[in-house]
Amino acid sequence: MMLNDPEQTGGLPAQPEVGIAEPAAAAAPAVATVPAALAAEGVPTRFACFVTGTDTEIGKTLVSSAILHKLVQTGVRACGMKPIAAGAEERDGELHNDDAAMLRAAGNVNLPQHITTPFMLREPCAPHIAAALEGVTIEPVTILTAYAEILGASDATVVEGVGGFCVPFSDDFDSAGLAVQLNLPVILVVGMRLGCISHALLTAEAIISRGLVLAGWVANLVDPGMRFVDENISALEQRMPAPLLGRVPRLDNPSAAEAAAFIELAGLPGWPATRA
């Protein structure tokens, strides 16, 4: 699902602060902190975020990979995680998903696929349907356990959600619930096309209403024929309760390195300084 485009009870201790965007008329969400166990060992504050989108196939994987690329450039150990990938095919005896593979390639921490993508599903459809077809139940404990392993092996982590913010995984678990359990600051990818303003504002409202930090948003041009792009982005800048982190144009051959040139995250608290 490459698109300007690549796509397609309890939790872990709270994660470190990545950035806070104050909602216009809501109480500020709780600030994430370094897990007590890690703080006791003197582990420095780390960067971590949850990347979601206004819809499916609007560039979450491209932006997530671009963030990982920029993290690697700072000299830290960066690892991407796509907990659920729906739409996999078997290659050389192992299931392969283009989005999960792009995240793995953008980071510099080599972990087994069952850790970076605990649920690799064959059917390219909604995760709860793909899981049911395979007799699999998507449960938070499996994802949270894998995430804990990633924390131990890396300095920075980017977790990419599935589809939009509220995509169901099972009868009682969805992408929004996963974001809450991970308790990571959220970066929202807005697919620039007709209707994106309402989609973006409703998604931001859903994120903040769950007590999560909306760290920022990225405008990704998915419809090259969209009219009044600048005006739409301006309208969103006036209304979104978080800063614009970048504008990614339509790319002929989208890659993590190319997209990274159009986003800026150095101003977010927790972003690592470039190492010599």
pLDDT band at 45 (very low <50, low <70, confident <90, very high): low
* Lowest-pLDDT range of 14-28, 78-92, 118-132, 209-223: 14-28
b/e per residue 43-54 (b: at least 16 CB within 10 A): eebbbbbbbbbb
Closest CA to 161 of 247, 89, 241, 61: 61
pLDDT of res. 16? 42
269 pLDDT band, cuts 50/70/90, is: confident
Report DSSP letters for 120-169, one per residue: EESSSS-HHHHHHHTT----HHHHHHHHHHHHHH-SEEEEE--SSTT-EE
Tell me which of 14-28, 30-44, 102-116 is least confident: 30-44
For residue 276, pLDDT over 90 is answered with no
Confidence (pLDDT) at 43: 39
**Statement: residue 133 has pLDDT above 50:** yes
pLDDT at 20: 39
Res 21: pLDDT: 43
pLDDT at 44 over 60: no
Residue 15 has pLDDT above 70, yes or no: no
User: In this structure, which amino acid lies at residue 7?
Assistant: E
Average of per-residue pLDDT values in the chain: 87
pLDDT band at 268, cuts 50/70/90? confident
Residues paired with residue 49 on neighbouring β-strands, in sequence order: 158
Q: Rounded to whole angstroms, how far apart are CA atoms 12 and 148?
A: 8
264 pLDDT above the threshold of 50: yes
Ramachandran region of residue 228, left (φ > 0), alpha (ψ -120 to 50) or beta? Answer: left
Residue 151 CA, distance from chain mean position: 16
| For the chain, percent of residues with pLDDT exceeding 70 | 83
* Whole-prediction pTM: 0.83
Query: What residues form DSSP beta bridges with 214?
Result: 186
Report whether 175 contacts 142 (CB < 8 A).
Answer: no
Cα separation of 218 and 247, whole Å? 6
Both tokens of 76, joined, read 């830290």
Asked if the model's pLDDT at residue 2 lies above 60, the reply is: no
Taking 60 as the threshold, does the pLDDT of residue 98 lie above it?
Answer: yes
| Cα–Cα dist 82/105, whole Å | 13
The pLDDT score that the predictor gives to residue 93 is 87
* Residues acting as catalytic residues: 82
223-246 mean pLDDT: 97
